[in-house]
Structure 1
Amino acid sequence: MNKFIYFSLIVLLCSCKEKQNNRVEKHLPNVVVIMADDLGYGGISSYGDTIVQTPNLDMLAANGIKFTDFHSNGAVCSPTRAAFITGKYQQRTGVGGVITAKSHRDVGLGLGETTMAEEFKKHGYNCGMFGKWHLGYAKEFNPTLQGFDEFTGFVSGNVDYHAHIDQEGYLDWWNGAEINNEKGYTTDLITDYGIKYIKANNPKETGKPFFLYLPHEAPHGPYQRRVDSILRKVGTAGTKQVNKDSIPSIYKEMVEVMDEGIGKTIQALKEIGEYENTIVVFMSDNGANRYGNNGSLRDFKGSVYEGGSRVPAIFSYPEKINQGRVNHQLVLSMDWLPTLLDLIGEQPSSPNIDGISIKESLLHGTELPQRDVFFEYANKSFVRSGDWKLIRVEQGNENKMELYNLSSDLQEKHDRSADYPELVKALAEKLARWKKEVHEGVNMVAE
């Protein structure tokens, strides 16, 4: 072999190895995102719950950043997940509503969308997901085809916590793109897989950072403790009823078991020496139902009032933030994609990103730019502009409008639409323009 060519190859190989090592030496952070399911704004002890005890989430909040004005992009499961994983308003992706086990088994998040996992892979990350997908039932929508190297979990809205059967009687526990059921309580399985993934992907050994997505089922129904019996069976739609009087105590345990698992996940990061160098994000996918706790907020999951979308959220990054702070600025699920990429020095590659990076606000406490944000679910929508929130409910050929000032009326008790007709008109026009823009040319797979 020509000596010059041989020498060039040696230099190239050394350069590649040096770049790989530098990514670790420069402390490119790992990223762990934990999403609760149907956990309301007041549903953990650091947000005011006096019954449920969540010491591990409280620790993250006490040493990181706790959000008071964080909103899920959707009032139900699938839309928020679509917005989170793409950085877009979910309507642009076609996932405006729940992808149901009964009516949407052949649709899902389009493979043309660039997911957060695909973004991280472009920058040398290993990517794993364990838990709830809910962005497509069929194999062609599997997380392993959307950027994740590994996936174990379920693809429906919820499964029996012990038998892993969905609402329509289908077995729903996957290893990659294949059904492969196993014994175990769903919350514990998600935690266990997450811990195994952390230990198997230690950047000091692999030379690569990791992105780990842990979307929990808890505290979504069916309501089951670790010791409870199976409530569903294969081939039969529906769920065996649980005594309603027992649900509050079951619900409490479900949240606390999830918190216990979060503590174990944090401990695993510490054991491999990566806790300081790991970004941890915790949030809920929407507000609680009537069995949960939305604090003083009006209404519940599925609503355009604050109880439907204002949820707990926590950001932890010990290497950069080691004192507890409270962030009162308006943030949405879709903001995490551009923010997390910005924190590793990168930008989204996909067009039409609606989320914004809040990196500077997180690291330096700077104010976010003023922006209007929008929300739509079924026949209900709202626009938020500063402290003002205009709600629009379509009722036949008429639209009912309500206007609230959240700075003085967070419980949304006093409709001010009659007092500010010009503001109502201006905000209604903004909302109409937004709806037209995000729906134009989009085939809605779930509304």
Structure 2
Amino acid sequence: MKKIKVIFATLILFTTYTFSQETRPNIVIIYVDDLGYGDLSSYGATEVTTPNVDKLAQEGIKFTDAHCSASTCTPSRYSLLTGRYAFRKNAAVLPGDAPLLISTKRETLPKMLQKNGYKTAVIGKWHLGLGNGNVDWNGKVAPGPLEIGFDYSYLIPSTGDRVPSVLLENHHVLNLDKEDPIQISYKKKIGNDPTGIENPELLRYDSDDFHGKTIINGVSRIGYMSGGNSARFKDETVPYQMLNQARLFIDKNKEQPFFLYFAFHDIHVPRLPDNRFIGSTKMGVRGDAIVQMDYITGELTKHLEKRGLKENTIIVFSSDNGPVLDDGYTDQSVELLGQHKPGGPYRGNKYSAYEAGTRVPTIVHWPGTIKPKESDALITHTDLYASFAQLIGHTLLDNEAPDSYAMWNTFSGESCKGRKYLLEESVTLSLRHNNYKYIHPTKKKAPWIEEKNIESGTSLNPQLFDLSKDIEERNNIADKNKKLVKKFKAEINRIISNEVSRN
């Protein structure tokens, strides 16, 4: 009888989510940078209002125990697009001149969707490397997004606080004057451009020495850049440029299914929101950047509605890691924080092994198909790959998305069942199981995290917390629960040694 029920349930799922190529839903992933669990009014913020994102939450599934895969950006983005844990690639936050991190031979989320009739685009922050090393920024920059499954790309090549501070469309830097070639170095000063360390009087706000190299748009960056003056972006206009390109991509592909990975730079440093948003909050530029992000999100969703695509488009809204205030620039984000709690009730920040490092606001919106609700299911962005494959009827290869679980019923709110075990990556590996949070001991040290007044969450000893009683992870109960600790250690070791962990 039990076997018959399982077969019947599977048939219902197959019948409910079977599409022709013409009716397959569009997929839009809106990935915000450094947005914390408590940074939206729909997730409890009182010092900033985010009506456009709140509307998505009101009309869709609002998850309260959803996680990006890692507490830093590059690893989370790697896992999102590959369905594979970033530690398997030793992925860390990349410098601006790093080679392409994702192998062109690896299956990816955009490749999978391409094979199933989707047009694909990435617009926004990339930070997954470009080229094979020694990139020629004045010529063809490849391999990149187009070689791993995207039909179109419009990028900040790495991230805004790293050179080159230019926009890249497909394989080429935009607006580049060949008579003023770009040169980049992360090792030594090149050219005569002023730097933040040498010319602090030219800065709009100060930075630490790490961010104190070439000054672009009044802000010093990581790394040295010379040339490419006509191609250098203005931070304040980048969000509008990204929005415009997203609209154009949607209009060009509205007659067929499309996948848009819209990767915000907001609210990452340097925070330079457009003048229209300055003073929107009492929290300074970080709060104002949140308001700007909300506005751009609203304009993007309104465009889908204007084109009659709202009911046939799945929007996943989330963040690549937890919040950070002081991340290299003295922009008063700490001093003006007031009563705002970027991580909500959770301990930790970006970079941290504690919950706020990876527990992020996550909303899935598909009006007319998904019923509005709140879900406390334990989920991870790593599972979006297999879940979208499940939705459109794609059978994964044995080596495809090896750490991704097919959980579309959970993402759509039909089921409240989440992950049995959920891995969180930081300086170490952590594991969630029901309300338990285990942080694996490590000898690795990250003094640069502590210098930012951020708790790394690491220890030489095992840490175990019961989040149902200790939401702030203050009471380590590992010594009193040695059987559980042994169980979690074994599960982490199993995950490490077994790449194909999909059940």
Q: TM-score range by the shorter chain?
A: 0.7 to 0.9
* Partner SS for 1:120: helix
Q: Which amino acid aligns with 2:238?
A: T
How far is the alpha carbon of 1:357 from its aligned partner? 2.1
How far is the alpha carbon of 1:376 from its aligned partner? 3.0
Q: Which amino acid aligns with 1:99?
A: L
Asked if 1 retains the 8 angstrom alpha-carbon contact of 2:108 and 2:148, the reply is yes
Which residue matches 1:285? Answer: 320
How far is the alpha carbon of 1:274 from its aligned partner? 0.9
How far is the alpha carbon of 1:348 from its aligned partner? 3.0
Q: Which deviates the most, 49-58 or 286-295?
A: 286-295
Question: Structure 1 vs Structure 2: percent identity of aligned residues?
Answer: 29
How far is the alpha carbon of 1:429 from its aligned partner? 2.4
Which residue matches 2:101? Answer: 108
Asked if 1 retains the 8 angstrom alpha-carbon contact of 2:64 and 2:376, the reply is yes
Q: 1:395 to 1:90 in 2, by over 3 A?
A: closer
* Partner SS for 1:130: strand
2 CA distance for matches of 1:273 and 1:371? 38
Q: Which amino acid aligns with 1:328?
A: D
RMSD of aligned C-alpha atoms?
Answer: 2.4
Which residue matches 1:294? Answer: 343
Q: Which deviates the most, 107-116 or 305-314?
A: 107-116
Which residue matches 1:99? Answer: 94
How far is the alpha carbon of 1:276 from its aligned partner? 0.5
Which residue matches 1:195? Answer: 247
Among 144, 151, 154, which residue is 1:152 paired with?
Answer: 154
Which residue matches 1:443? Answer: none
Asked if 2 retains the 8 angstrom alpha-carbon contact of 1:37 and 1:286, the reply is yes
Among 393, 405, 412, which residue is 1:356 paired with?
Answer: 405
Asked if 1 retains the 8 angstrom alpha-carbon contact of 2:403 and 2:499, the reply is no
2 CA distance for matches of 1:57 and 1:106? 34
Which residue matches 2:361? Answer: 312
2 CA distance for matches of 1:39 and 1:176? 27
Q: Deviations over 1:118-167 (max 9, x none)?
A: 111101111111101111133334111111111111121x22xxxxxx52
* Partner SS for 2:487: helix
* Partner SS for 1:366: coil
Which residue matches 2:287? Answer: 252
How far is the alpha carbon of 1:435 from its aligned partner? 2.7
Asked if 1 retains the 8 angstrom alpha-carbon contact of 2:60 and 2:372, the reply is yes
Q: Which deviates the most, 342-351 or 67-76?
A: 342-351
How far is the alpha carbon of 1:187 from its aligned partner? 1.6
Q: Deviations over 1:195-216 (max 9, x none)?
A: 121112111xxxx211111000
Which residue matches 1:390? Answer: 438
TM-score (structure 2 length as normaliser): 0.72
Among 244, 258, 261, which residue is 2:296 paired with?
Answer: 261
Q: Which deviates the most, 63-72 or 185-194?
A: 185-194
Q: Which amino acid aligns with 1:152?
A: Y
2 CA distance for matches of 1:433 and 1:81? 23
* Residue segments in structure 2 that go unaligned for 5+ positions in a row: 1-18, 132-140, 175-230, 326-332, 334-340, 446-458
- Does 2:482 align with 1:434? no
Among 51, 74, 80, which residue is 2:76 paired with?
Answer: 80
Q: 1:152 to 1:352 in 2, by over 3 A?
A: closer
Asked if 2 retains the 8 angstrom alpha-carbon contact of 1:78 and 1:95, the reply is no
Asked if 1 retains the 8 angstrom alpha-carbon contact of 2:156 and 2:165, the reply is no
Among 103, 106, 127, which residue is 2:120 paired with?
Answer: 127
1 CA distance for matches of 2:443 and 2:492? 16
Q: Deviations over 1:28-70 (max 9, x none)?
A: 1111110000000001110011122111110010010001000
Asked if 2 retains the 8 angstrom alpha-carbon contact of 1:108 and 1:141, the reply is no
Q: Deviations over 1:221-254 (max 9, x none)?
A: 00212139xxxxxxxxxxxxxxxxx993211221
Which residue matches 2:450? Answer: none
2 CA distance for matches of 1:347 and 1:310? 29
1 CA distance for matches of 2:264 and 2:418? 32
Among 28, 34, 37, which residue is 1:38 paired with?
Answer: 34
Asked if 2 retains the 8 angstrom alpha-carbon contact of 1:135 and 1:141, the reply is no
Asked if 1 retains the 8 angstrom alpha-carbon contact of 2:107 and 2:401, the reply is no
Among 210, 221, 233, which residue is 2:269 paired with?
Answer: 221
Among 45, 49, 54, which residue is 1:49 paired with?
Answer: 45
Q: Which amino acid aligns with 1:75?
A: S
* Residue segments in structure 1 that go unaligned for 5+ positions in a row: 1-20, 160-165, 229-245, 440-447
Which residue matches 1:371? Answer: 420
Matches of residues 205-244 of structure 1 in structure 2 within 5 Å?
208-227=256-275
Q: Which amino acid aligns with 1:100?
A: P
2 CA distance for matches of 1:37 and 1:371? 27
Q: 1:177 to 1:97 in 2, by over 3 A?
A: same
Among 453, 461, 469, which residue is 1:408 paired with?
Answer: 469
Q: Which amino acid aligns with 2:496?
A: K
How far is the alpha carbon of 1:192 from its aligned partner? 1.5
Among 7, 20, 23, which residue is 2:21 paired with?
Answer: 23
Which residue matches 2:66? Answer: 70
Which residue matches 1:276? Answer: 311
Q: Which deviates the most, 409-418 or 344-353?
A: 344-353
Asked if 1 retains the 8 angstrom alpha-carbon contact of 2:383 and 2:406, the reply is yes
* Partner SS for 1:347: coil
Asked if 1 retains the 8 angstrom alpha-carbon contact of 2:119 and 2:259, the reply is yes
Q: 1:71 to 1:274 in 2, by over 3 A?
A: same
* Partner SS for 1:186: helix
Asked if 1 retains the 8 angstrom alpha-carbon contact of 2:47 and 2:282, the reply is no
How far is the alpha carbon of 1:382 from its aligned partner? 1.1
1 CA distance for matches of 2:363 and 2:443? 37
Asked if 2 retains the 8 angstrom alpha-carbon contact of 1:394 and 1:400, the reply is yes
2 CA distance for matches of 1:280 and 1:364? 14
Q: Which amino acid aligns with 2:488?
A: L
* Partner SS for 2:349: coil
Q: 1:370 to 1:84 in 2, by over 3 A?
A: closer
Q: Which amino acid aligns with 1:188?
A: Y
How far is the alpha carbon of 1:353 from its aligned partner? 2.1
Asked if 2 retains the 8 angstrom alpha-carbon contact of 1:52 and 1:252, the reply is yes
Which residue matches 1:419? Answer: 480
TM-score (structure 1 length as normaliser): 0.80
2 CA distance for matches of 1:396 and 1:317? 42
Q: 1:318 to 1:298 in 2, by over 3 A?
A: same
2 CA distance for matches of 1:223 and 1:171? 14
Displacement over 4 Å in runs of 4+? none
How far is the alpha carbon of 1:314 from its aligned partner? 0.3
Paired residues, number: 383
* Partner SS for 2:142: helix
